[in-house]
Amino acid sequence: MILFGPSDANLRAVEKVFGISLNEKEEWIVTDDPTDEKAVLRVFTMALDKIRKGENLTSFDMFKIAEEGKECKADEDPAELYKTAFGRSYDHKPIYPKTRGQKELLETFEKKDMTFAIGPAGTGKTYLSVVYAVNCLRLNKSKKIIITRPVVEAGENLGFLPGDLEEKIDPYLRPIFDALDQLISPVQRQHLMEKGIIEIAPLAYMRGRTLDDAIVILDEAQNTTVMQMKMFLTRMGFHSKMIINGDTTQIDLPYGKKSGLIDALERLSGVEEIGSVALTSRDVVRHPLVRKILACYDSGQNGKTE
């Protein structure tokens, strides 16, 4: 059965989240612990809904659905996450948020002129931002997408990389290209970049510009200096939205230099038109092991994690 996954992998994913045993018996699901029966039923109902919409359901998808189903309060409907797609992939598959934190972030993109998305690696900050921007372009809500980031070396020396400046910078922008390639064809991406409708450039290239009618994304914002962040934020033009992504636990600036992201969050916290969403390890959408790794680093422990 598609619902159960190959070799019952989806059942095993739900077992891991709830700490119970599940077995298939004549296309029924039997559990050894009825305590979370209603929550487990919600999980499989949500999974069936995704299958009926023609979506692929991997064991990781099932793991995230089970987490949301388990954490939901009695008066909450976890299926709300999967009712409205916020974009479509290159092969026309709908894209939904995978966690409540991601859903909150997408709603903030819509409501606010400027959004700070803060969270650890793997929470989908870059991907969600790019999906939102491409969707705005498709719906004619914006005329242009501008994506930028500071070029700060995380332990490696940029000067030793081969090639000219553009070739040296390309690896730093690779996550953005990867996100775009899931949403539009390589040929279309190249066409849009040649026409200037999609622009990807280092942060230094933003100086002196006014960015009108655009969705402007600043990635890896924790590696901006205070002056770089001020320069970027004041580029905002009419009919534009800005999205600033960053992870305050991964700052690669020289010791003693304050992050422009942290400074901006402190200075701008009371501005009504600016939203801020803090994603956590619960919003990580990479391999489940990533969450455990983050927990170990955050706590400073070297033992087992649950």
- Tens of pLDDT, residue by residue over 169-224, are 667 778 888 889 989 988 999 899 999 999 988 888 898 999 999 999 999 999 99
Domain stops at, among 83, 98, 116: 83
In a domain, 222, yes or no: yes
Domain stops at, among 83, 112, 135: 83
* pLDDT for res 81: 66
* pLDDT for res 154: 43
Whether residue 201 sits in one domain with residue 154: yes
Domains in the chain, number: 2
Whether residue 293 sits in one domain with residue 230: yes
3-state secondary structure 50-88: HHHCCCCCCHHHHHHHHHHHHHCCCCCCHHHHHCCCCEE
Whether residue 293 sits in one domain with residue 145: yes
**Burial tier of 141 (Cβ tally within 10 Å: 0-12, 13-18, 19+):** middle
Whether residue 160 sits in one domain with residue 217: yes
Domain stops at, among 51, 83, 115: 83
Whether residue 112 sits in one domain with residue 15: no
Secondary element (H or E) of residue 94:
strand 94-95
In a domain, 1, yes or no: no
- Contact status, residue 128 vs residue 256, Cβ threshold 8 Å: no
Whether residue 177 sits in one domain with residue 92: yes
Contacts of 303 (CB under 8 A, 6+ apart): none
pLDDT < 70: residue spans in the chain: 1, 26-27, 72-82, 152-170, 288, 300-306
Give the pTM. 0.77
Q: Residue 255, Cβ neighbours under 10 Å: how many?
A: 5
Domain membership of residue 24 as a residue range: 6-83
Start-end of H helices in 112-201: 125-138, 165-183, 186-194
Whether residue 79 sits in one domain with residue 98: no
Whether residue 145 sits in one domain with residue 221: yes
Whether residue 48 sits in one domain with residue 157: no
Whether residue 126 sits in one domain with residue 25: no
What are the φ and ψ backbone dihedral angles of 200, each rounded to 5 degrees?
Answer: -125, 120
In a domain, 94, yes or no: yes
Distance CA 77, CA 137 (A): 31
